[in-house]
Amino acid sequence: MPQCLISGAAFEPFLSFGEMPVANAFSDPARPEDPFRFELEVGFCPESKMVQLTRLVDETRMFHDHYAFYSSTSAGMARHFEAFAASVRAGLGGEDPFVVEIGSNDGILLRHFADAGLRHLGVEPSANVAEAARARGVNTISRFFDEDAARAIAAEHGPADAVLGANVMCHIPYLHSVLEGVKRLLKPGGVLVFEDPYVGDIVRKTSFDQIYDEHVFYFSLASVSHLAAMHGLAVVDVARQDVHGGSMRYTLAREGERPVAPSVPALAAEEEAAGLHRPETYARFAREVQRVREELPALLRRLRAEGKRVTGYGATSKSTTVTNFCGITPDLVEYITDTTPGKQGMLSPGARIPVVSPRAFAEDPPEYALLFAWNHAAEILAKEKTFREEGGRFITYVPRVEIL
Ligand code: SAH
Ligand code: TMP
């Protein structure tokens, strides 16, 4: 049985997806694909309450000098991070504050601190996206954040008022080292503010495509509180975020240094009611996932039999789980359109579906577009008005398989 990365206790997996490629390993059609595969499987530890992968992919296989995901490809996310920066800045006091971000990618969040002339540092191991951040004036070091990195940062820059992270804490298997490092780096009264996809939303929406190699953990308040307490930290505030299909922002401080906001016990009660503490909840989720796995390819095969063309929209990391788990290959989805230049002209991992530019989609639109980037639905549906007005339809599978 696998062992919990937080508590060390043995736990049972509740859902297996089979062999998967690395979710962001887009490949050049002229070269053979990297044959690396791993068993994608998730389980729930009743002791730490943490939902997590049972097998890990080495981080240097996922985060390197050609990491495919650039944060700044969505206008909606740019607005989200502008607001995130404003809320952090509003809480900064004292002279010459210093803010550190873990997993700062292309600087989508820290640019607002850089533009305001505030002391900041991004810690971003993927060298290509780190370079994009530097190019727009965001101070960035290229390394994995852990306790050693925190020590080095504190020695060079002094203690931090705030340590931030978005969609990165859930990527890091060695969270004990990360939290020790954060504790060491923070000033007295300093805060760790991070947000990640929320397991409550994943369960409620059956958004199983959040499960892939990079996402080691699927957090709840219960699991984050358990982890925090192991390090003398406490969750002092929580706030839902309407991004990535439903995220939660957690604010942590050293125990006793800050008052606990009413949002914390309120969410704890909600999680109790939703059954996020119980293995049965995840068993039920696994059954719902199997239903989507049957219904989605069945719909695609039916459309295909009717002679309709279907393409994909958004070559997301999430789409790698969907295509490979549901058996969606280029005979069912002709191509996937994506705005990221580095993904265009490549093949999707495993399923080997060609990725094309939005222009190719506009010039040769299909009858149906399978919305892999469903978390950006509002932005995309607004942008693709013409496609829809001319009779094009979007297909989703979250929270259920349907034609929009
Ligand atoms: N914060 C951005 C990027 C999220 S993608 C956003 O929300 O859009 C996750 C990022 O975390 C990647 O850029 C990856 O290179 C980085 N990362 C992965 N492991 C890390 C670690 N241990 N320390 C710091 N960054 C890490
Ligand atoms: P994400 O779901 O991890 O944020 O990834 C979104 C992907 O979708 C990314 O590769 C960019 C792409 N995308 C588009 O192609 N068109 C769009 O309008 C948006 C918002 C994203």
Residues near 122 by beta carbon (within 8 Å), at least 6 away in sequence? 100, 101, 104, 107, 110, 130, 133, 138, 139, 140, 141
- Separation of alpha carbons 132 and 144, rounded Å: 17
Residues near 254 by beta carbon (within 8 Å), at least 6 away in sequence? 183, 186, 188, 232, 233, 234
- Separation of alpha carbons 248 and 267, rounded Å: 10
Shortest-distance atom of ligand 1 to CA 129: 13
3-state secondary structure of 27: strand
Whether the per-residue pLDDT at 247 is higher than 90: the answer is yes
Mean of pLDDT values over 250-258? 98
Shortest-distance atom of ligand 1 to CA 59: 19
* The length of the chain, given as a count of residues: 404
pLDDT digits (tens, 9 = 90+) for 270-290: 999 999 999 999 999 999 999
Q: H or E segment at 119? A: strand 119-123
Mean of pLDDT values over 9-24? 98
Report strand pairing: 393-396 vs 336-337. unpaired
pLDDT digits (tens, 9 = 90+) for 130-189: 999 999 999 999 999 999 999 999 999 999 999 999 999 999 999 999 999 999 999 999
Report strand pairing: 368-371 vs 310-313. parallel
**pLDDT at residue 343, as a whole number:** 97
Tell the residue nearest (CA) to atom 6 of ligand 2: 316
pLDDT digits (tens, 9 = 90+) for 373-397: 999 999 999 999 999 999 999 999 9
Q: How many CB atoms lie within 10 A of CB 244?
A: 20
Answer whether 170's CB lies under 8 Å from 197's CB.
yes
- For ligand 2, say whether the CB of 169 is within 6 Å of any of its atoms: no
Residue 332 DSSP one-character state? T
**pLDDT at residue 270, as a whole number:** 98
- For ligand 2, say whether the CB of 215 is within 6 Å of any of its atoms: no
The residue behind tokens 């409550």 is 200
pLDDT digits (tens, 9 = 90+) for 333-342: 999 999 999 9
**pLDDT at residue 267, as a whole number:** 98
Tell the residue nearest (CA) to atom 9 of ligand 1: 168
Sign of CA dihedral 304, 306, 311, 317: negative
For residue 135, give the amino acid letter.
A
- For ligand 1, say whether the CB of 216 is within 6 Å of any of its atoms: no
Shortest-distance atom of ligand 2 to CA 380: 18
**pLDDT at residue 94, as a whole number:** 87
Listed in sequence order, the DSSP H helices in 158-205 are 175-185, 199-205
- For ligand 2, say whether the CB of 227 is within 6 Å of any of its atoms: no
Q: Provide the edge-to-edge strand list for the sheet that holds 13-20.
A: 13-20, 38-44, 51-53, 217-218
Mean of pLDDT values over 295-322? 98
**pLDDT at residue 329, as a whole number:** 96
- Separation of alpha carbons 142 and 122, rounded Å: 8
- The token pair that represents 93 in the structure block: 């006091």
**pLDDT at residue 69, as a whole number:** 95
**pLDDT at residue 93, as a whole number:** 87
- For ligand 2, say whether the CB of 356 is within 6 Å of any of its atoms: no
**pLDDT at residue 290, as a whole number:** 98
Answer whether 69's CB lies under 8 Å from 105's CB.
yes
- φ, ψ (nearest 5 deg) of residue 14: -115, -10
pTM of the predicted model, to two decimals? 0.97
For residue 217, give the amino acid letter.
F
- For ligand 1, say whether the CB of 103 is within 6 Å of any of its atoms: yes
Whether the per-residue pLDDT at 46 is higher than 90: the answer is yes
Question: pLDDT exceeding 90 applies to what percent of the chain?
Answer: 99
- Separation of alpha carbons 97 and 77, rounded Å: 25
Mean pLDDT of the chain: 97
Answer whether 108's CB lies under 8 Å from 71's CB.
yes
